[in-house]
Structure 1
Amino acid sequence: MYNHIFNSQTRTITSAAGILAVSSLLSGLLGLFRDRLLAGSFGAGNELDIYYGAFRVPDFISMVLVMGAISAAIIPIFSSYLVRSRQEAWEFFANLLNLFLFFLIIISVILIIFVPQILSLIVPGFSGEKKELTITLTRIMFLSPIFLGISNTISGVLRVFRRFLVTSIAPIMYNLGIIFGILFFVPWLGLNGLAWGVVFGGFLHFFIQLPILLKTGFKPKIILNFSHPGFIKTIKLTLPRALGLAAGQINLIVITAIGSTLAAGSIAVFNLANNLQNLPITLIAISFSTAAFPFLALYFSKKDKEKLLEEFSSVFRQILFLIVPVSILIFILRAQIIRVILGTGKFGWADTQLTAACLGIFSFAIFAYGLVLLISKTFYAFQNTKIPALVTLFTVGLNIVLCYFFVRVLGFENTFQSFLINFLDLQGIKDNSVIGLPLALAVSGIFQISLLLFLLYKKIGDFRIKEIFESCIKILASGVLLGFACYFVRQTIAEFVDMQTFWGIFCQAALASIVGIIVFIASAFALKSPEIKALKTLIYRKNGR
């Protein structure tokens, strides 16, 4: 039964994206439950600051050294070997897997030794017991990148074989491991239990995929060939991508460093809001981009530019059609979302206000970060990892400058600060400097997508810009109507429910969202949006009509 379900192949981008979206939704819901447990148990204070500060370095290793190779190199290189010879493909992968494991262990051991010095740079605002506890958690969490590194490498190969289901289940297992740690390890081990939960989640992420990898024909081999042509090509393709990811992770490290010097709980507030804004990006943009990547790489290999541009335009418009209305709903219902998801236990009203303000700012750039993923993967399909990496480096530099600028500007009374306080409903909050961090990310994200689109045009010419522009106008028009409808219902419902209770706030947010979505879909039909037609066709196919 296990093999029958998880070993099944996915044949189209839409069905693959559907599987990834559903599993991402489950993983996202578990992530929300995880954050609710964290917020309720610890509040937005020192303990969560310690956890998020400790998480940053191991996450850096996972993202840079492994995800760079997965996204940029393994899928196209393994695919090219597979076309020629399955045996050569497996030999390449076995060698790559062994070398990755070797490097991950060496790097983890070295970094474990130098954790105190590293954390002095990452969380300069921490001292005494707070810093010591952060050091302990960081050292425990360094076991996680080893499991996640091997697991994500396996995911890349399984996606080539279109085993999207099992690769999408892995993140669910990761969140389950962390939740298990919160519920069972923390009462036993204290804050250290959070770190062991992360390690357990990494192990589950790996363990769920291993049987399916073996089913596809992989047989482990003891081989360490540094001169293997496939490994050399992987390194060449990985380095620019890893550089770009390193820049992105350094970006988060700088944000963490700045946050450690602000009011207690600032790191927690930023991360909780960031996790929430990442949910639609994961559900929509990552699902479609990940599913599209193997197809885009295939069309590039076949030199079928017309088909490649057709798929790119379609996925671009589908992402916007789904992510724009969600972003508008998030902004209008930001306080309700935070209160429903995180408003429990030690997470107070001031925490809610600040986290909601950060989420509201993020909502203006969700579309940008969603499309950055697709355009970057389009460049990767061309086996060009340099352009996205260089753009990311430049964007990170801009963001770091903006972070320092906005935090400083918001540190004293001025017209800009007053505008944001009124716009984001932050009256009564003494220190609101933390909102400068998401503001910087939002501005730099919009800049990044603009620059990538320009460079994509310079590389391949017209990528069906007129088709995309016409869809954007219709999507924005429908989005404006959604916004008005959602705001009206939100204000109206508040008169009829008890806004001091969980269910009152939940009903307000749910009804406003439902009405807004109905208005959006109706207006999309009225405007004859191509994306709503595609959705209608998909529904009819599912019903066998």
Structure 2
Amino acid sequence: MPLLTARQRMGAAALILAASAVLSRLMGLVRDKVISWQFGAGGEADLYFAAFVVPDIINYLLAGGFMSITIIPLLAARFREDEADAWRFFSCVFFWMLVSSLALTVAGMIWAEQLARLTAPGFSPQAITRLAFFMRIILPAQVFFLAGACFTALLLLRRQFSVPALTPLIYNGAIIAMGLLLPLTPGAGALFGKGGHLGPDHLGMTGYCVGVTLGAGLGAFLLPLRAAAAGGLRLSFVWRHPLLFRFLLIALPLMLGQTVVMLDEQFLRVFGSLVGDGAVSLLNYGRRIAQVPVGLVGQAAAVASYPFLVRLLADGENERFAATLRTALAASVGLIIPCALLMMAAAWPILGIIFQGGRFGPEETLAALPLTRLMLAPAPFWIVYMVLVRAYYAHGDTLTPALTGTAVTLACIPLYYFLAVPQGAWAVAALSGLGVSAYVAWLIGIWARRHGTAAFAGLAPLAGRCLACSVPAAGIAWLVADATLARLPLPPFFAACAALAASGAAFALVGVPLARMVAPELIEMAARPLRERLARKKARDATGADACQNGKDA
């Protein structure tokens, strides 16, 4: 009899991915801290963040971020039936992905300046030239991301979560390392110090762009390739397979359906370029903070639960499928609401700690403050999306999320241009949250009509109880944070640290007693992972003790 239940195995997977998400988010914040310190908001920073628009869209067009979702169900079924044919199918998908990504990357590099004008219409001609230079450095990373996604999907199918968990750490580490070290490298100025108005020996943010491609090559491609090879990877030159058409039918909606969630970051960059200098950077910094709780809570739960949801459907266990989905949604929503509200309350000290310093002064901190709070508000909808969309994909339904998301995207574009841009960066941030929230609400409604409401049973009352205990705690924490920053005679960084600690303590002092009275399940959710970990340790110790005793008896 296995020592771990399905829930515990899913919990262990979620724990690995959650640890990776925590470290990755921390490294991402360190990366952005270094960038903000060196370059502030505007100028080179705007160009760097805008340089990701075209590469990211290429990734979306080839459904690279959804590779595990599209290929895992087909590959899992094929491995159960015919292992040799499963490897042929995998090889076919891999080589088509490699060729397609190479073709789009080369095209993007050739027409980089034209694409730069299209994706950053508010930039000057000199800035467009520099932006095209950055794009040409970053674009090859997509070949590594897209080809490596095939190997990562294979590892997830094998429930090998450690290597996929390392990928973002290597990626962010390479960006930071190259950003800091390339300017110190002899000859780097002659090789890379081109592409704009900074002069032949001024690298600017070129090192960070080089780090993007290097990190993608090492972390997203070579590491998963090596792990897959160690587990018995069998690649062959196969260009045709009967399952390829079915794979394309599943992936095509993800390729063509550019949902508002996928394009949210790109909208902030494109329409931010029309708002004015520094808007792209400030919106990016605010979004980075807002996505921290989403990444920590939602990504781990969504990625870890997906293979189990697929297996439950394949085994015909619909009730357990609904129960697993309900558990993932409840845990995610129950954790994200207090986390997001606390971060909204402490946004000022958080921004002060992470970004303020160097060329990012107090004025930039105050300018990013409302943007950060606006983008934290829809965090529960982001969490629901990350879990629910994988339930759609587990059913083999990629069309519904793609069509509904594309419809919301098309509705948002004129709203961004005609309503948000004239009002400024805050309106762009607000519309971002409203678009995502409307999309997720639509997906919930469709799911309820098709599959019933069992997956959402108790979710709305839980959210209400979370708000009931978290809103008062966040209000007190907000007052404490502002008062500490205003009155404590310390240097800005240490004042921000003190304000963050004080606001966190105030939130806990008010929120925990309220949670015990109003929403005791929140305490249970927070304590359950620790209890399960202790139970697993106890089981392993007991098994080891039994083995030792049996050895003595023998």
TM-score, length-scaled by structure 1 = 0.89
Shift of 1:224: 2.1
Compared with structure 1, are the counterparts of its residues 229 and 368 closer, same or farther at alpha carbon in structure 2 (3 Å cutoff)?
Answer: same
Which of residues 48, 52, 57 is equivalent to 1:51? 48
Distance 1:58 1:317, change over 3 A: same
Does the CA contact (< 8 Å) of 2:275 and 2:422 recur in 1?
A: no
Q: How do residues 110-129 of structure 1 correspond to structure 2 at under 5 angstroms?
A: 110-129=107-126
Q: Distance in 2 between matches of 1:486 and 1:246?
A: 35
Amino acid paired to 1:365:
P
Alpha-carbon distance change, 408 to 214 in structure 1, aligned in 2, over 3 angstroms = closer
Distance 1:437 1:491, change over 3 A: closer
Q: Say if 1:53 and 1:134, in contact at 8 Å, map to a contact too.
A: yes
Identity of aligned residues (%): 22
How far 1:283 moved relative to its partner? 1.0
Which residue in the other structure is 2:531 paired with? Answer: 540
Does structure 1 retain, via aligned residues, the 8 Å contact 2:60–2:254? no
Q: CA RMSD in A?
A: 2.1
| Aligned counterpart in structure 2 of residue 162 of structure 1, from 159, 164, 178 | 159
C-alpha contact (below 8 Å) 1:493/1:508 kept by paired residues: yes
Equivalent residue, structure 2, for 1:414: none
Equivalent of 1:260, from 268, 273, 279? 273
Which deviations, in whole Å up to 9, do the C-alpha atoms of 1:51-99 show, x marking residues without a partner? Answer: 1121211122123314254143111111111221222222211221111
Offset, 1:407: 2.8
- Pick from 226, 233, 236: which aligns with 1:221? 236
Please point out which of 359, 366, 370 is paired with 1:353.
366
Alignment map for 1:331-370 (pairs within 5 Å): 331-370=344-383
Q: Is the 8 A contact 2:259 2:402 kept in 1?
A: no
1:478-489 alignment, distance < 5 Å: 478-489=469-480
1:295 aligns with 2:308: yes
| 8 Å CA contact 2:469, 2:519 repeated in 1 | no
Structure 2 partner of 1:473: 464
* Partner in structure 2 of residue 195 of structure 1: 209
2:337 to 292, 304, 324: 324
- Distance in 2 (alpha carbons) for counterparts of 1:517 and 1:93: 49
Q: Which amino acid aligns with 1:202?
A: A
- Shift of residue 495, structure 1, vs aligned partner: 6.7
Distance (whole Å) between structure 1 residues aligned to residue 349 and residue 528 of structure 2: 34
Residue in structure 2 matching 1:237, options 250, 253, 256:
250
> Any conservation in 1 of the 2:121–2:270 contact (CA below 8 Å)?
yes
Structure 2: gaps spanning 5 or more residues: 1-5, 190-202, 539-554
Aligned counterparts of 2:18 and 2:421: Cα–Cα separation in 1: 39
Q: What is the distance in 1 between the residues matched to 2:296 and 2:304? A: 12
Note the alpha carbon deviations across 1:290-335, whole angstroms, 9 max, x for none: 1111111111112211101111111101111111111111211112
Question: Which residue does the alignment assign to 1:497?
Answer: 488
Given that residues 46 and 265 in structure 1 are in contact (C-alpha distance below 8 angstroms), is that contact kept between their aligned partners in structure 2? yes
Residue 100 (structure 1) aligned with residue 102 (structure 2):
no
Separation in 2, partners of 1:264, 1:136: 19
TM-score normalised according to structure 2 size: 0.88
Match of 2:31 in 1: 34
Q: Distance in 1 between matches of 2:454 and 2:273?
A: 43
Change in CA separation of 1:464 and 1:140 when aligned onto 2, cut-off 3 Å: closer
Counterpart in 2 of 1:402? 415
1:210 pairs with 225, 236, 241, which one?
225
Find the counterpart in structure 2 of residue 4 from structure 1. none
Matched residues in 1 for 2:465 and 2:263: separation? Answer: 37
Instruction: Render the CA deviation track for 1:16-67: whole Å, top value 9, x for unaligned.
Output: 1111111111000000000001101111011111111212111221233142
Q: Tell me if structure 2 keeps the 8 A contact 1:186–1:194.
A: no
Number of positions where the alignment pairs a residue of Structure 1 with one of Structure 2: 513
Matched, 1:434 2:425: yes
Deviations 1:236-294 (A, max 9, x none): 10011222346655554444332222221111111111122112111111110111111
- Structure 2 CA distance for partners of 1:10 and 1:192, relative to 1, 3 Å: farther
Q: 1:508 aligned to 478, 494, 499, which one?
A: 499
CA deviations over 1:311-365 (Å, ceiling 9, x no partner):
1111101111111111111211112111110001101222111212110101111
- Look up the SS of the partner of 2:159 in the other structure: coil
What residue number does 2:137 align with?
A: 140
Cα distance, 1:143 vs structure 2: 1.0
**Which whole-Å CA distance do the structure 1 matches of 2:60 and 2:183 have between them?**
26
Of 346-355 and 519-528, the range deviating more from structure 2 = 519-528
Is the CA contact 1:20–1:168 (under 8 Å) kept in the aligned structure 2?
Answer: yes
Shift, 1:11, TM fit: 6.5
Work out the CA distance in 1 between the residues paired with 2:11 and 2:466: 20
Higher deviation after alignment, 371-380 or 26-35: 371-380
Does the 8 Å contact 2:141/2:213 carry over to 1?
yes
Q: Quote the residue 1:423 is aligned against.
A: none
Q: Does 1:75 align with 2:72?
A: yes
| Corresponding letter in the other structure for 2:450 | K
1:270 and 2:295 aligned: no
Whole-Å separation in 2 of the counterparts to 1:393 and 1:150? 26
